[in-house]
């Protein structure tokens, strides 16, 4: 079984053991995705780049845990909506290859802003 399928299976086994699928409608799952993403972001608030580097020396584990929560909801939503997230990412990268051709986008902040 592929790595992403294995991780997804662990998430679904965790959920099924608790009978929580009944609560997981797509809208509330999307709210979780947003709420966990903001918890990642909160770690970096009120800090400049140098302070963030310093902060990560001791807090990387906490950030990793919040980022894992985002990943959790990405995989759970993918499973519930029957989205092949690996394929979806590969297709998005292909689209972006066309949208941001190397010769135009290289080192360009302006172009980059619209990614």
CB nearer to a second copy: pick between 45 and 58? 45
Nearer to a second copy, 58 or 102 (CB): 102
DSSP state letter for 100: S
**Minimum distance from CB of 34 to a second copy (Å)?**
5
Closest CA to 39 of 72, 75, 10: 72
Cα-to-chain-centroid distance, residue 4: 13
State the minimum distance, in angstroms, from the CB of residue 58 to a second copy. 13
Q: DSSP letter for 114, please.
A: T
The number of helices, as runs of H, and strands, as runs of E, in the chain is 6, 0
User: Least CB distance from residue 50 to a second copy, whole Å?
Assistant: 10
User: In whole angstroms, how close is the CB of 60 to a second copy at the nearest point?
Assistant: 6
- The pair phi, psi for residue 82, each rounded to 5°, is 55, 50
Beta strands in 17-99 (DSSP E): none
């Amino acid at each position: 079984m592929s790595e992403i399928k294995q991780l997804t299976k662990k998430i679904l086994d965790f959920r099924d053991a608790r009978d929580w699928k009944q609560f997981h409608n797509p809208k509330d799952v999307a709210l979780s995705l947003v709420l966990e993403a903001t918890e990642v972001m909160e770690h970096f608030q009120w800090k400049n780049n140098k302070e963030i580097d310093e902060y990560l020396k001791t807090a990387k584990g906490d950030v990793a845990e919040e980022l894992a929560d985002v990943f959790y909801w990405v995989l759970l939503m993918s499973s519930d909506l029957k989205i092949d997230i690996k394929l979806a990412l590969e297709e998005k990268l292909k689209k972006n290859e066309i949208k941001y051709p190397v010769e135009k986008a290289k080192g360009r902040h302006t172009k980059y802003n619209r990614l």
